[in-house]
Amino acid sequence: MTDLPTPSTARPAPGQLTMTAPRRGKPPRHLADLDLAGRVEWAKELGLPGFRAKQLSTHYFAHHTDDPEQMTDLPKAARDELAAAMLPRLLAPVRTITADRGATLKSVWRLHDGALVESVLMRYPRRATICISSQAGCGMNCPFCATGQEGLTRNMSTAEIVDQVVAANRLLAEAGDLPLGDEAGAALGAEADDEGESLPSSSGRRVTNVVFMGMGEALANYKAAIGAIRRMVDPSPEGLGMSARGITMSSVGLVTGIDRLTEEGIPVTLALSLHAPDDELRDELVPINTRFKVDEAIDAAHRYYQRTGRRVSIEYALIRDINDQAWRADLLGKKLTARGKGWVHVNPIPLNPTPGSKWTASRRGVEQQFVERLRAHGIPTTVRDTRGSDIDGACGQLAAATA
């Protein structure tokens, strides 16, 4: 599998959206693609007793292993066959790059068809967060994002999405103690603590927080992304047994997807990648704005808050002399407070560099003024931690070094 060529996609024209993923060969069917009842039925179709599916679920979701040699409760003669049938290898490691004294690890994975995706594991004093990919590439084509500039190769399957989390749990268990990084800014995954209720500590041995902020627009791969969330929150060993509050779904403002997520009844945190409060600029920075305008995206986010009670995070990449003007901070503040108070938190993000980009991060003084103007409107505002930027593992950088 690792010898397959890397598939290439033509770079999209400026502003071009790709809403339908190219059709490619489906990934192997995997236990994590199905709920427990579906796994039991599949096992029976394979001529196996249904309880074998439950045993395999325990190994994968509770022990985070797909190694037949560790499955000592299965018949020795059948272990390899069982694992090959229901736990096929989905992610082949290409390389892992570390930063922050080992507290940040970016993993590059090759999928069954040669497509490359990346995930980033970050250890903080009170959590372990993984930033996962939901698509190989991205069809949203934001011009300041390395992933968007590469175009969309294909959607990932539910199991391919989940397997990134399981691989991270395996890595945490095997790596032992790693130096824990400082939380100088708003850490990825910190959205879960917005309500003042801390999630259980991972003790550095398992993932506590998952953010859909890697490659792809997860809501454009809706069925697989929701399936992955359900596998994460299903109780162990049916799933990973995670808290839904520890999962953050990021979107550039796909309003139809946000509304569908609102109806799911899963209290994940929604993060809206806004990046501009006015339609004229956002049409350029976030091409989906040509279909769903700023106010429509904010309204959808507010509906999500009203239905779930989960405070929404607004992501705002600060780009020097482009979107960092004080009047834009005021406009954003007015638009958010017009819909009420206490429903939203803003995370300004210093723009992370990508190869060939004409844009760069805002000056520190300008960044601070932007934050202060938002806070003057009564909006909680915290600058996002840029963990992993030196290994192209920060927001907007994934695929910069591997495409």
- Preceding amide of 380 cis, omega within 30: no
Q: Left, alpha or beta for 103 (phi > 0: left; psi -120 to 50: alpha)?
A: alpha
Identify the active-site residue in 131, 150, 284, 395.
395
Contact 347, 274 (CB under 8 A): no
Torsion of CA 72, 75, 78, 80, to 10 degrees: 10
b/e map 184-200, b = 16+ CB within 10 Å:
ebbbbbbbbbbeeeebe
131 catalytic? Reply is: no
Distances (CA, A) of 125 to 105, 247, 324, 394: 16, 18, 31, 19
Binding site, annotated residues for [4Fe-4S] cluster: 138, 142, 145
Where is the binding site, in residues? Answer: 138, 142, 145, 216-217, 250, 273-275, 352
Q: How far apart are CA 287 and CA 289, in angstroms?
A: 5
Pairing of strands 127-131, 209-212: parallel
Q: Which of 187, 166, 192, 253 lies closest to 218 in space, CA to CA?
A: 253
Of 372, 375, 286, give the one whose Cα is nearest residue 323. 286
Q: Kindly report the backbone phi and psi dihedral angles of residue 206, in degrees, each rounded to the nearest multiple of 5, phi listed first.
A: -155, 160
Known binding-site positions for S-adenosyl-L-methionine? 216-217, 250, 273-275, 352
- CA atoms of 351 and 145, how far apart (whole Å): 9
Q: Which of these is catalytic: 118, 160, 191, 315?
A: 118
Alpha-carbon separation of residue 146 from 104, 158, 216, 287 (angstroms): 19, 24, 11, 15
Tokens of 380: 């909680």
395 is catalytic: yes
- 60 within 8 A of 31, measured Cβ to Cβ: yes
- DSSP string computed for 25-92: PPPPP-GGGS-HHHHHHHHHHTT--THHHHHHHIIIIIS----GGG-TTS-GGGHHHHHHHHS----E
Active site residues: 118, 395
